[in-house]
Protein backbone atom coordinates (compact mmCIF):
# COMPACT_ATOMS: atom_id res chain seq x y z
CA UNK A 1 0.00 0.00 0.00
CA UNK A 2 1.44 3.39 -0.97
CA UNK A 3 1.64 6.39 1.39
CA UNK A 4 -1.15 8.08 -0.58
CA UNK A 5 -3.43 5.05 -0.34
CA UNK A 6 -2.82 4.80 3.41
CA UNK A 7 -3.68 8.50 3.80
CA UNK A 8 -6.91 8.05 1.83
CA UNK A 9 -7.89 5.12 4.07
CA UNK A 10 -7.14 7.21 7.18
CA UNK A 11 -9.18 10.10 5.78
CA UNK A 12 -12.12 7.77 5.06
CA UNK A 13 -12.02 6.25 8.54
CA UNK A 14 -11.68 9.72 10.09
CA UNK A 15 -14.76 10.90 8.17
CA UNK A 16 -16.79 7.93 9.47
CA UNK A 17 -15.65 8.51 13.08
CA UNK A 18 -16.44 12.24 12.76
CA UNK A 19 -19.91 11.39 11.40
CA UNK A 20 -20.58 9.07 14.36
CA UNK A 21 -19.31 11.73 16.78
CA UNK A 22 -21.55 14.40 15.21
CA UNK A 23 -24.55 12.10 15.71
CA UNK A 24 -23.34 11.67 19.30
CA UNK A 25 -23.25 15.45 19.67
CA UNK A 26 -26.90 15.61 18.57
CA UNK A 27 -27.63 13.02 21.29
CA UNK A 28 -25.77 15.15 23.87
CA UNK A 29 -27.81 18.22 22.87
CA UNK A 30 -31.08 16.28 23.27
CA UNK A 31 -30.04 14.80 26.62
CA UNK A 32 -28.64 18.08 28.00
CA UNK A 33 -31.54 20.29 26.87
CA UNK A 34 -34.50 17.93 27.38
CA UNK A 35 -33.57 15.23 29.89
CA UNK A 36 -31.11 16.87 32.29
CA UNK A 37 -32.69 18.96 35.08
CA UNK A 38 -31.98 22.66 35.37
CA UNK A 39 -29.75 23.81 38.22
CA UNK A 40 -31.98 26.19 40.20
CA UNK A 41 -29.56 28.93 41.29
CA UNK A 42 -27.80 29.38 37.90
CA UNK A 43 -30.84 28.74 35.71
CA UNK A 44 -30.60 27.48 32.13
CA UNK A 45 -27.15 29.06 31.67
CA UNK A 46 -25.73 26.22 33.79
CA UNK A 47 -26.40 23.87 30.85
CA UNK A 48 -23.61 25.65 28.93
CA UNK A 49 -21.35 23.57 31.19
CA UNK A 50 -22.25 20.41 29.17
CA UNK A 51 -20.60 21.83 26.06
CA UNK A 52 -18.01 24.17 27.58
CA UNK A 53 -16.22 21.69 29.88
CA UNK A 54 -16.01 18.79 27.34
CA UNK A 55 -14.79 21.12 24.59
CA UNK A 56 -12.19 22.56 26.99
CA UNK A 57 -11.09 18.99 27.75
CA UNK A 58 -10.73 18.23 24.02
CA UNK A 59 -8.80 21.47 23.39
CA UNK A 60 -6.34 20.83 26.22
CA UNK A 61 -6.00 17.17 25.18
CA UNK A 62 -5.16 18.34 21.65
CA UNK A 63 -2.60 20.90 22.84
CA UNK A 64 -1.10 18.38 25.27
CA UNK A 65 -0.67 15.80 22.50
CA UNK A 66 0.90 18.47 20.27
CA UNK A 67 3.35 19.22 23.09
CA UNK A 68 4.23 15.57 23.62
CA UNK A 69 4.68 14.86 19.90
CA UNK A 70 6.72 18.06 19.48
CA UNK A 71 9.10 16.86 22.18
CA UNK A 72 9.35 13.44 20.52
CA UNK A 73 9.94 15.11 17.14
CA UNK A 74 12.84 17.14 18.55
CA UNK A 75 14.39 13.89 19.82
CA UNK A 76 13.59 11.49 16.96
CA UNK A 77 13.12 13.79 13.92
CA UNK A 78 10.35 11.56 12.57
CA UNK A 79 8.31 13.46 9.97
CA UNK A 80 5.11 11.63 10.96
CA UNK A 81 5.32 13.02 14.52
CA UNK A 82 5.54 16.57 13.19
CA UNK A 83 2.50 16.11 10.94
CA UNK A 84 0.36 14.61 13.73
CA UNK A 85 1.47 17.37 16.14
CA UNK A 86 0.41 20.02 13.62
CA UNK A 87 -2.91 18.25 12.98
CA UNK A 88 -3.58 18.13 16.72
CA UNK A 89 -2.72 21.83 17.09
CA UNK A 90 -5.23 22.87 14.41
CA UNK A 91 -7.99 20.70 15.92
CA UNK A 92 -7.12 22.13 19.35
CA UNK A 93 -7.50 25.68 18.05
CA UNK A 94 -10.96 24.82 16.66
CA UNK A 95 -12.05 23.42 20.05
CA UNK A 96 -10.47 26.37 21.86
CA UNK A 97 -12.56 28.81 19.80
CA UNK A 98 -15.68 27.09 21.20
CA UNK A 99 -14.19 27.01 24.71
CA UNK A 100 -13.35 30.73 24.67
CA UNK A 101 -16.79 31.64 23.28
CA UNK A 102 -18.99 29.48 25.50
CA UNK A 103 -17.02 30.43 28.64
CA UNK A 104 -17.96 34.14 28.53
CA UNK A 105 -21.53 33.17 27.53
CA UNK A 106 -21.72 31.35 30.87
CA UNK A 107 -19.71 33.98 32.76
CA UNK A 108 -21.96 36.94 31.90
CA UNK A 109 -25.18 35.62 33.52
CA UNK A 110 -23.43 33.76 36.38
CA UNK A 111 -20.45 36.02 37.27
CA UNK A 112 -21.95 39.24 35.92
CA UNK A 113 -19.02 39.79 33.55
CA UNK A 114 -18.00 38.39 30.16
CA UNK A 115 -14.32 38.17 31.04
CA UNK A 116 -11.90 38.62 33.91
CA UNK A 117 -8.11 38.64 33.71
CA UNK A 118 -7.60 35.91 36.31
CA UNK A 119 -5.01 33.14 36.07
CA UNK A 120 -7.27 30.47 34.51
CA UNK A 121 -8.78 32.62 31.79
CA UNK A 122 -5.59 34.51 30.97
CA UNK A 123 -3.43 31.37 30.72
CA UNK A 124 -6.08 29.70 28.53
CA UNK A 125 -6.20 32.70 26.20
CA UNK A 126 -2.39 32.80 26.10
CA UNK A 127 -2.25 29.11 25.14
CA UNK A 128 -4.85 29.64 22.41
CA UNK A 129 -2.87 32.57 20.97
CA UNK A 130 0.35 30.56 21.19
CA UNK A 131 -1.18 27.82 19.03
CA UNK A 132 -2.64 30.34 16.57
CA UNK A 133 0.96 31.60 16.29
CA UNK A 134 2.13 27.98 15.86
CA UNK A 135 -0.19 27.55 12.86
CA UNK A 136 0.80 30.92 11.36
CA UNK A 137 4.48 30.00 11.77
CA UNK A 138 3.95 26.68 9.98
CA UNK A 139 2.13 28.43 7.18
CA UNK A 140 4.99 30.90 6.74
CA UNK A 141 7.83 28.35 6.52
CA UNK A 142 8.31 26.17 3.45
CA UNK A 143 11.39 24.12 4.31
CA UNK A 144 10.19 20.96 6.06
CA UNK A 145 13.12 20.62 8.46
CA UNK A 146 13.02 24.27 9.57
CA UNK A 147 9.22 24.25 9.86
CA UNK A 148 9.24 21.06 11.92
CA UNK A 149 12.01 22.23 14.28
CA UNK A 150 10.71 25.78 14.85
CA UNK A 151 7.10 24.72 15.39
CA UNK A 152 8.14 21.85 17.68
CA UNK A 153 10.00 24.32 19.92
CA UNK A 154 6.80 26.37 20.16
CA UNK A 155 4.58 23.29 20.53
CA UNK A 156 6.61 21.81 23.37
CA UNK A 157 5.53 24.76 25.56
CA UNK A 158 2.12 23.08 25.82
CA UNK A 159 3.72 20.48 28.10
CA UNK A 160 4.09 23.24 30.68
CA UNK A 161 1.00 25.31 29.86
CA UNK A 162 -1.64 22.55 29.85
CA UNK A 163 -0.87 21.26 33.39
CA UNK A 164 -0.49 24.89 34.52
CA UNK A 165 -4.00 25.74 33.25
CA UNK A 166 -5.37 22.78 35.22
CA UNK A 167 -3.80 23.84 38.52
CA UNK A 168 -4.49 27.59 38.25
CA UNK A 169 -7.81 27.20 40.10
CA UNK A 170 -5.90 25.74 43.08
CA UNK A 171 -2.84 28.03 43.02
CA UNK A 172 -4.51 31.39 42.39
CA UNK A 173 -7.64 33.22 43.44
CA UNK A 174 -9.94 32.92 40.45
CA UNK A 175 -13.62 33.23 39.59
CA UNK A 176 -13.44 30.00 37.59
CA UNK A 177 -15.01 27.00 39.38
CA UNK A 178 -12.84 24.10 40.56
CA UNK A 179 -12.88 20.89 38.49
CA UNK A 180 -15.92 18.68 39.15
CA UNK A 181 -14.62 15.48 37.53
CA UNK A 182 -10.83 15.67 37.03
CA UNK A 183 -9.86 15.86 40.71
CA UNK A 184 -8.68 13.37 43.34
CA UNK A 185 -12.07 13.19 45.11
CA UNK A 186 -15.29 11.75 43.70
CA UNK A 187 -17.14 13.92 41.12
CA UNK A 188 -19.28 16.59 42.81
CA UNK A 189 -22.35 16.40 40.55
CA UNK A 190 -25.71 14.62 40.78
CA UNK A 191 -25.53 11.41 38.72
CA UNK A 192 -28.01 12.56 36.06
CA UNK A 193 -25.82 15.63 35.35
CA UNK A 194 -22.62 13.61 35.58
CA UNK A 195 -23.82 11.13 32.94
CA UNK A 196 -24.60 14.03 30.57
CA UNK A 197 -21.19 15.57 31.18
CA UNK A 198 -19.28 12.30 30.73
CA UNK A 199 -21.24 11.45 27.56
CA UNK A 200 -20.39 14.86 26.17
CA UNK A 201 -16.72 14.37 27.08
CA UNK A 202 -16.69 10.99 25.31
CA UNK A 203 -18.31 12.54 22.21
CA UNK A 204 -15.77 15.40 22.17
CA UNK A 205 -12.92 12.90 22.50
CA UNK A 206 -14.34 10.92 19.55
CA UNK A 207 -14.68 14.16 17.56
CA UNK A 208 -11.04 14.90 18.32
CA UNK A 209 -10.01 11.44 17.04
CA UNK A 210 -12.07 11.82 13.85
CA UNK A 211 -10.80 15.34 13.19
CA UNK A 212 -7.15 14.51 13.80
CA UNK A 213 -7.29 11.47 11.49
CA UNK A 214 -8.74 13.60 8.70
CA UNK A 215 -6.35 16.49 9.30
CA UNK A 216 -3.33 14.17 9.40
CA UNK A 217 -4.44 12.44 6.19
CA UNK A 218 -4.78 15.85 4.55
CA UNK A 219 -1.23 16.77 5.59
CA UNK A 220 0.13 13.48 4.18
CA UNK A 221 -1.73 13.95 0.88
CA UNK A 222 -0.21 17.44 0.57
CA UNK A 223 3.20 16.08 1.47
CA UNK A 224 2.98 13.36 -1.19
CA UNK A 225 1.90 15.86 -3.86
CA UNK A 226 4.74 18.26 -2.97
CA UNK A 227 7.26 15.42 -3.00
CA UNK A 228 6.04 14.26 -6.41
CA UNK A 229 6.18 17.84 -7.73
CA UNK A 230 9.74 18.26 -6.39
CA UNK A 231 10.73 14.90 -7.90
CA UNK A 232 9.25 15.92 -11.24
CA UNK A 233 11.22 19.17 -11.28
CA UNK A 234 14.58 17.61 -10.39
CA UNK B 1 -36.24 30.70 44.93
CA UNK B 2 -36.94 31.73 41.35
CA UNK B 3 -34.38 30.70 38.74
CA UNK B 4 -32.78 33.52 36.72
CA UNK B 5 -34.10 34.05 33.22
CA UNK B 6 -30.92 33.46 31.19
CA UNK B 7 -31.93 30.85 28.60
CA UNK B 8 -30.75 33.08 25.73
CA UNK B 9 -27.10 32.64 26.82
CA UNK B 10 -27.56 28.86 26.76
CA UNK B 11 -29.13 28.95 23.29
CA UNK B 12 -26.28 31.15 22.02
CA UNK B 13 -23.63 28.79 23.45
CA UNK B 14 -25.22 25.70 21.91
CA UNK B 15 -25.57 27.44 18.53
CA UNK B 16 -21.92 28.62 18.59
CA UNK B 17 -20.75 25.09 19.44
CA UNK B 18 -22.79 23.52 16.63
CA UNK B 19 -21.68 26.12 14.07
CA UNK B 20 -17.95 25.85 14.86
CA UNK B 21 -17.86 22.04 15.16
CA UNK B 22 -20.00 21.42 12.09
CA UNK B 23 -18.20 24.17 10.17
CA UNK B 24 -14.80 22.64 10.92
CA UNK B 25 -16.05 19.14 9.98
CA UNK B 26 -17.35 20.40 6.61
CA UNK B 27 -14.18 22.44 6.01
CA UNK B 28 -11.98 19.38 6.63
CA UNK B 29 -14.13 17.25 4.33
CA UNK B 30 -13.91 19.81 1.51
CA UNK B 31 -10.14 20.33 1.97
CA UNK B 32 -9.57 16.56 1.70
CA UNK B 33 -11.79 16.31 -1.38
CA UNK B 34 -9.90 19.16 -3.04
CA UNK B 35 -6.54 17.56 -2.17
CA UNK B 36 -7.72 14.21 -3.58
CA UNK B 37 -8.55 15.93 -6.89
CA UNK B 38 -5.16 17.64 -6.98
CA UNK B 39 -3.45 14.31 -6.28
CA UNK B 40 -5.08 12.47 -9.19
Residues in A closer than 8 angstroms to B19, CB to CB, are: none
Write phi, then psi, for A43 (nearest 5 degrees).
Answer: 75, -160
Residue B15 near chain A (CB below 8 Å): no
In a domain, A135, yes or no: yes
In a domain, B1, yes or no: no
Residues forming beta bridges with residue A39, ordered by sequence position: A43
Structural domain tally of chain A?
1
Q: In a structure prediction context, what are the per-residue pLDDT tens digits for chain A, which is 234 residues long? A: 899 999 999 999 999 999 999 999 999 999 999 999 998 889 999 999 999 999 999 999 999 999 999 999 999 999 999 999 999 999 999 999 999 999 999 999 999 999 999 999 999 999 999 999 999 999 999 898 999 999 999 999 999 999 999 998 888 887 777 777 766 777 778 899 999 999 999 999 999 999 999 999 999 999 999 888 877 655
The ipTM assigned to this model is 0.94
In a domain, B39, yes or no: yes
Structural domain tally of chain B?
1
In a domain, B17, yes or no: yes
Residue A105: which residues within 8 A CB-CB, separation 6 or more? A45, A48, B9, B10, B12, B13, B16
In a domain, A232, yes or no: no
In a domain, A69, yes or no: yes
Host domain of residue A132: 3-37+46-226
In a domain, B21, yes or no: yes
In a domain, A60, yes or no: yes
Closest CA to A172 of A121, A127, A130: A121
In a domain, A70, yes or no: yes
pTM attached to this predicted model = 0.94
In a domain, B25, yes or no: yes
In a domain, A231, yes or no: no
Host domain of residue B38: 8-40
Residue B21 near chain A (CB below 8 Å): yes
If DSSP codes are grouped into helix, strand and coil, which group holds residue A39? Answer: strand
C-beta atoms of A22 and B16 within 8 A: no
In a domain, B2, yes or no: no
Amino acid sequence: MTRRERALTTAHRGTIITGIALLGLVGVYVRALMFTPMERSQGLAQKIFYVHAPVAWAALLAFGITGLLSLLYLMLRDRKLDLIAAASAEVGVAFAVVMLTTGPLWGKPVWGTWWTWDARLTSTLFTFLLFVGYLVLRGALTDFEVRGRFSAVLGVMALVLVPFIHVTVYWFRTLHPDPVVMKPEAPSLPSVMLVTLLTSMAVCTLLYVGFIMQRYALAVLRDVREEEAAGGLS
Amino acid sequence: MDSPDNGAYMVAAYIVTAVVVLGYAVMLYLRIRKEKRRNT
